[in-house]
Amino acid sequence: MFKDIGKLFLGNKKALFGLLLLLFFALVGLLAPVIAPYDPKSNRVETITVLSEERDRSRTISREDLDPSTEKKVYSQSVTTTYERITKKLPLKGKPSSAHLLGTTHSGQDIFSQLIWGTRVSLTVGLVTGLFTTVLSLCLALIAGYFGGLVDDVISLFTNVFLVIPSLPLMIVIAAYVTVRGVIPIILILGLTSWPWPTRVLRSQVVSLKNRDFVRVSKSLGEKPSYVVFREILPNMISLVMASFFSSTMAAIIGEATLEFIGLGNVSVVSWGTMLYWAQANGALLAGFWWWFLPPGICIALIGTSFALMNFAIDEISNPKLRKR
């Protein structure tokens, strides 16, 4: 089952390209401390050069005052190191150069290093939010779809209502009221405002699977609901769950960048969204500093494309009509 999906997935050119793109960003995020040439938050570089080392050997013998029977010998060896500590301030609003591939910010941080560290934050927020949203909507969808009746009516009603209430203004209002600024509130806000669409899609799939013969058979054999749900229904909608996860993650990455760009995130965290915030706040656009505001957007778009391609492939795999023959 999973093996087949995996094989189809990797055999699909779009999916493979999307997956490679995602792996590339994941690698950049993981290896950020190794790749990034500078500290993304610091505006100075410290270099320490050891000039000389002198060892000073001395022996001290001290007699314990309290207890005359013991004699304590203390050997100490002190090393005197003479070193030079050079603190170099990075240029402010520097243009791209060999030292700073994408220039520096208004307060002298290296933009290239920020972009690399930002990958880590943005991708993590995206994936965690995507997972959160998918799990939340999958639970709602399974409960509503499997049990039906009043539970289904209530969940469906709220899904339909929240589907049409525009989520961005809602997110902004909630985020503005949350007094704690940071990554975790953003994850919660994004997750709690983006569940309706996947819930709706997943629920209708659950309903359609519930009425298939193999599920009916399993039920009439007296299997427990948990068995029917997790062994019969869920495995047959894995591709849809994956698709929901990809879209939710993509939406979350854009959503995070949006909230942070407006200034509703923690602006001291280095992510793609806050980079855009600082670029905009310092008029990078009107000064023509394209190297400051273009790269974060391109990264977001590339990650988005990677998820979109994988989704496209899932669509093709699960809906043969869309497949090119």
Partner 1 sequence: MKYFFRKIGLLLFALFVAMTLNFFIPRMMPGDPARELIDRMQGIPPEAMESIRIAFGLDTKDTLIVQYGKYLLNVLKGELGISLSRFPTPVRDVLKIAIPWTLGLMGFATILSFFIGTILGIGAAWSRNKRWATLTVGTFIFIRSFPYFWLGLLFIYFFGFRLQVFPIGNAYSFYVQKGGWDYFLSVLYHGFLPALTITVSSLGGWILTMRNNMINVLAEDYITVALAKGLPLRRIKNLYAAKNAMLPSITSFAMSLGFVVGGGLLTEMVFAYPGVGLMLWQAVQAKDYAMMQAIFLFISVAVLIANFLADLAILLLDPRVRDSGR
What is the contact surface with partner 1 in residues (CB under 8 A)? 157-158, 160-170, 172-174, 176-179, 197, 250, 254, 257-258, 261-264, 276, 280, 285-286, 288, 290, 293-294, 296-297, 300-305, 307-309, 312, 315, 319, 321-322, 324
Distance separating alpha carbons of residues 137 and 150, to the nearest angstrom:
18
Q: Which of residues 108 and 304 has its CB atom nearest to partner 1 in the complex?
A: 304
Query: Does residue 274 contact residue 264 with C-beta atoms inside 8 Å?
Result: no
Residue 48's H or E segment, with its range, is strand 44-63
Q: Which is closer to partner 1, CB of 136 or CB of 294?
A: 294
Nearer to partner 1, 48 or 322 (CB): 322
Q: Which is nearer to partner 1, 233 or 239 (CB)?
A: 239
Q: Which is nearer to partner 1, 81 or 319 (CB)?
A: 319
Coil, helix or strand at residue 65:
coil
Q: How far is the CB of 205 from partner 1 (least distance, A)?
A: 16
Buried b (16+ CB within 10 A) or exposed e, 137-159: bbebbbbbbbeeeeebeebbeeb
Least Cβ distance, residue 14 to partner 1 (angstroms): 9
The enclosing H or E element of 205 equals helix 196-210
DSSP state of 90: P
Q: Which residue number, 145 or 265, has a Cβ lying nearer to partner 1?
A: 265
Q: Which of residues 241 and 276 has its CB atom nearest to partner 1 in the complex? A: 276
Tokens of 269: 């965290």
CA-wise closest residue to 224 among 232, 235, 236: 232
φ and ψ of 295, to 5 deg: -55, -45
Query: 90 or 313: whose CB is closer to partner 1?
Result: 313
Structure tokens at 162: 């929240």
Structure tokens at 169: 């203004």
Least distance in angstroms from the C-beta of 18 to partner 1: 10
Scored b (16 or more CB within 10 A) or e, 90-109 reads beebbebeeebebbbbbebb
Look up residue 287 and give its amino acid: A
CB of 192 to partner 1, least distance (A): 11
The distance from CA 273 to its chain's CA centroid, rounded to whole angstroms, is 12
* Distance (Å, whole) CA 25 – CA 187: 20
Residues 141, 199 contacting (CB under 8 angstroms) = yes
Q: Which is nearer to partner 1, 113 or 311 (CB)?
A: 311
Rounded to whole angstroms, what are the CA distances from 36 to 39, 161, 163, 275, 308?
Answer: 7, 45, 41, 16, 28
